[in-house]
Chain A
Amino acid sequence: MRGRGGEAPSLAAPPAGITVSLQVEIMVSYLLLGAALIVAIPAVSERVHEPLLAVAAVLALTVALGWGLTLALARVSRLARLKASAIEISRGDLSKSVARDGRGRVRDEIDDLALSIAAMQENLRDLVSRIQGAARSVADSANELSTSAEQVNASTDEVARSMEGIASGAGEQSALVELASKVIGEMAGSIERTACSAEEAARASAETSAGAARGGEAARLAGEKVMRVFARIEAASEQVFAFGERTKEIGKVVDVITSVAQRTNLLALNATIEAARAGEYGRGFAVVADEVRKLAESTGRSAEQISGLAADISGRAVSVVGTMKESVSVLGEGREDLNAIIRSMEDISRIAATGADKVGVISQSAREQLEGSGDMVEAMDHISDVATSNARATEGVRTATSEQTAAVAQMAGAAQELSNLSLELQSVVSRFRLEADADPRR
């Protein structure tokens, strides 16, 4: 009691006054009663002659005095009040303070009892109040704990959902990385094919260049041959021209022959005339002259034939020369064409060489791209590994989260249990009434 603090200092230090034992009080009462009776009985017997009446009066007086004295001196009515208080306390009603007699100067055991009961009540009230506060705070804490557990649960659910999302994202990432890897592989294949095609194109370009160079060389050789043919045709043309000139000379000779034949013919004619003038003597001479005339005519005819042939040859030579001149001009055009072909071939060769260079560059860059795509595939593999380990880590996190969820559920259960316990405690403690707000018995 003393260690519980100074809530009841009046109990610790009882009020000043004289402590009179109940026994003494009752004794005093008896004594007073006796004294009264001693006085009263003679008085009554004097006044009242009726014995019965006198006895009755004495009895009545005794009872009245005894009743009054006990009430006045022992104040036994206090016990009834104490009993009521004790009953109330036993029922848990701590709201009413124990009735205390205001006559504090003389005390007896009943007063002490009342004081003790009051102190007990005070202490009980304090205890119950503390218990009630503790139970309330426990309940609050349990509620808070439960709320926290719910929040943790919600957070954990969120984390779990996030983890699910991360896991599915990791799966998608993995699939995408796989797809990307496949695509890059296909790309690498196509790049390789491109590189192969570029190399083939480079070879083809080189062959084209070489072919163009060979074509150009062949065209150059052809041009030289055409030049030689040109020169030969010119020489032949000159020869044919000279031949035609010579043929004209033949014509001149034939003209001379023709004129000689004509003159011979004329001479033969004149000889015939002379022979006719000679008469019989000129007959033989006339025969000779006629023979000479025939020879001259034959010669003239041959000369005419030769002349025709020579004219024909000359004409043909002229036409041959013309044809040759045409051929020469055609050949000149052909030579120009050949020169154009040579230039075209050189252009083709140069363009093909340029194309080969460019294709070589393409091939080189395709090779580099191929290497780059290999690196990319490697990087994709790395990414895939990372995604896989991410998925594993996510799985671990998910496991931890589920474990956490279970722990939190356990914690929530415990909090619920605690809450239930505190409620039970509160209901137990609530039987004690601490406040005196509505007590009709006061």
Chain B
Amino acid sequence: MSDGRHVVFAAGGQRFALPLEDVREVVPAAPPFARVPRCGPEVKGGMNLRGRVVAVVDLAALLRLPPAAPGEPAHVVILEAERRALGLLVGAVHGVEPLAPDEEGAADAPAGAGAGLVRGVARAGGRSVALLDVATLESQVKALFGAGSARPG
């Protein structure tokens, strides 16, 4: 449906890719974000996108990667997830690039909190890129909010 085209971006010093059909749009990050109570540290806060409130989650923090250096360009990738909008705070956005499906494969996927987020590793523009799994991502974010509501304070 999207001819294997993915949106490629950087986060925590690594390159990641999301399928084009899962991305609603990409906007520049405009901190500060409105803090959301009872959430984990991965949740940066909420932002106003043309009247809609979007929750922003730091992908690097979610993947236990080092935080982005100050001054680096920051973007928020808005995901299309049912009726709820979810924003991923990432670094530079490299663009839309096609990924060959045969290059997909589970390799050196990060463990821990970010486990299962990476579906595989592909090559885009001669460089490796980690392919993120949108369903796992959404479930983990929901778990974040859920854990936040479950945990007191």
Contacts and interface: CB of A to CB of B under 8 A. Distances in A.
Contact of B95 (A269, A274, A279): A269
Contacts of B27: 266
B25 A273 contact: yes
A273 B97 CA distance: 12
A263 B20 contact: no
Interface in B1-18: 1-2, 5, 7
Nearest to A277: B21
Contacts of A293: 95
A262 interface: yes
A215 B27 CA distance: 75
A270 interface: yes
Most buried by B among A262, A270, A273: A273
Contacts of A32: none
Interface string B27-65: 110000000000000000000000000000000000000
Interface string A228-272: 000000000000000000000000000000000011011001101
A260 to B, nearest CB: 12
B142 interface: no
A276 B7 CA distance: 12
Given A262-B73, A276-B2, A293-B95, A270 B21 contact: no
Contact of B96 (A262, A269, A277, A279): A269
Max chain A C-beta neighbours (<10 A), residue from B2, B21, B25, B75: B25
Given A262-B73, A266-B75, A266-B93, A276 B28 contact: no
Contacts of B75: 266
Interface residues of B, number: 17
Contact of B7 (A269, A274, A277): A269
A276 B73 contact: no
Interface residue range, chain A = 10 to 19
A273 B96 contact: yes
Given A262-B73, A263-B28, A276-B20, A269 B5 contact: no
Chain B interface mostly: strand
A230 B99 CA distance: 66
B111 interface: no
A270 B26 contact: yes
B28 A266 contact: yes
A269 B96 CA distance: 7
A276 B93 contact: no
B134 interface: no
Interface string B82-118: 0000000000010110000000000000000000000
Contacts of A276: 2, 5, 20-21
A270 B26 CA distance: 6
Contact of B23 (A263, A266, A273, A279): A273
Interface of B: 1-2, 5, 7, 20-21, 23-28, 73, 75, 93, 95-96
25 contacts: A262-B28, A262-B73, A263-B28, A265-B95, A266-B28, A266-B75, A266-B93, A269-B7, A269-B26, A269-B96, A270-B26, A272-B20, A273-B7, A273-B20, A273-B24, A273-B25, A273-B26, A273-B96, A276-B2, A276-B5, A276-B20, A276-B21, A277-B21, A279-B1, A293-B95
Q: Which 5 A-B pairs have the closest CB atoms?
A: A270-B25, A276-B20, A272-B96, A276-B2, A269-B26
Given A269-B93, A270-B25, A276-B2, 9 more contacts: A262-B28, A262-B73, A263-B28, A265-B95, A269-B95, A273-B7, A273-B23, A273-B24, A273-B96
Interface of A: 262-263, 265-266, 269-270, 272-274, 276-277, 279, 293
